[in-house]
Amino acid sequence: MGMSAAEFDRWYADHAVSPAADELVQRVLGLPPQVQSTSLLSWDALDEVVAALDLHDGQVLLDLACGRGGYGLEIARRRGARVTGVDFSAVAIEQARRLADALGLADRAEFRVGELTATGLGAASADAVLVVDAIQFADPAVDALRECRRVLVPGGRVVITGWEALDPTDERLPPRLRQLDLAEQLARAGFADVRVTSKPAWRVAERALWEEALTVDAGDDRTLRSMQDEARQVLASFDGRRRILATATA
């Protein structure tokens, strides 16, 4: 369903030498430079995510499929929380550790290599779990949701951003998106209080990012060229998917 860790390793290595891609993403999503993102979650949308996580001082956030760790570190900073970031790309994890050091947050942050479906963390070891724009890579998604529930304390919150197909038979969309029905899958994974909300307002920045990516001269910048490939694919089926925020309680 997903891409391999080696493919993501190459993607993150390319990112490290493409300041132009980061500049574009940060400008369009309204992110400050320390929030290194490889997703489509804007600065405004992050406020809603933080509210939904309901984290308090000293609590532990698991940022699952954390990439370079930007969102989890920002949330830890805002909430006085600790963050554990897990991603299967060792290159991304190394970049996340460097970001934590640079932000002076290394004493509250731990980054480790692990899978969406097998984090390597202990049961009931996190107060909240965040998955930003990555649940579609889990195979199958419900196994990753069960893993989220396993690592959460009872009453802990899971917050997921992503996309769902409006029509699961729409072949313009990748199979990994068509497998998602988070309301059903979160309930099947044993979560309570499941809510899946459409976020049409979040799509304004998303569309703007893909459209702007197509206007730049990518030259031989592999990150910009891969963004442009993705932009063409996403824009061709943009209206076939909905942007969602899913929340639930363990």
Q: Is the distance from CB of 151 to CB of 121 less than 8 angstroms?
A: yes
Q: Does 8 bind ligand SAM (CB under 6 A)?
A: yes
Q: Is the distance from CB of 92 to CB of 132 less than 8 angstroms?
A: no
22, 48, 74, 115: which one binds ligand SAM (CB under 6 A) = 115
18, 26, 38, 223: which one binds ligand SAM (CB under 6 A) = 38
Backbone angles phi and psi of 130, in degrees to 5: -120, 135
Nearer to ligand SAM, 32 or 154 (CB): 32
- Which among 116, 98, 148 has a CA at the least distance from the CA of 2? 116
CA 96 vs CA 101, 128, 136: distances in Å:
9, 19, 21
Q: Which two tokens stand for residue 42?
A: 């804007």
48, 87, 206, 221: which one binds ligand SAM (CB under 6 A) = 87
**Shortest Cβ contact with ligand SAM: which residue?**
67
Q: Does 163 bind ligand SAM (CB under 6 A)?
A: no
**Binding string to ligand SAM for residues 136 to 155, with x set by CB under 6 A, is what?**
-xx-----------------
Q: Does 159 bind ligand SAM (CB under 6 A)?
A: no
Q: Which two tokens stand for residue 30?
A: 């309204």
The interface region with ligand SAM, picked from 84-92, 191-199, 211-219, 227-235 by CB under 6 A, is: 84-92
How many helices, marked H, and strands, marked E, lie in the chain? 10, 7
Q: Does 227 bind ligand SAM (CB under 6 A)?
A: no
DSSP assignments along 79-141, one per residue: HT-EEEEEES-HHHHHHHHHHHHHTT-GGGEEEEE--SS---PPTT-EEEEEEES-GGGSSSH
Q: Is the distance from CB of 242 to CB of 161 less than 8 angstroms?
A: no
Nearer to ligand SAM, 38 or 42 (CB): 38
Which single residue is written with the structure tokens 């308090």? 56
26, 37, 95, 226: which one binds ligand SAM (CB under 6 A) = 37
The interface region with ligand SAM, picked from 86-94, 148-156, 170-178, 179-187 by CB under 6 A, is: 86-94
Nearer to ligand SAM, 44 or 193 (CB): 44
Binding residues (CB under 6 A) for ligand SAM: these are 2, 8, 37-39, 41, 65-67, 70-71, 87-89, 92, 115-116, 132-134, 137-138
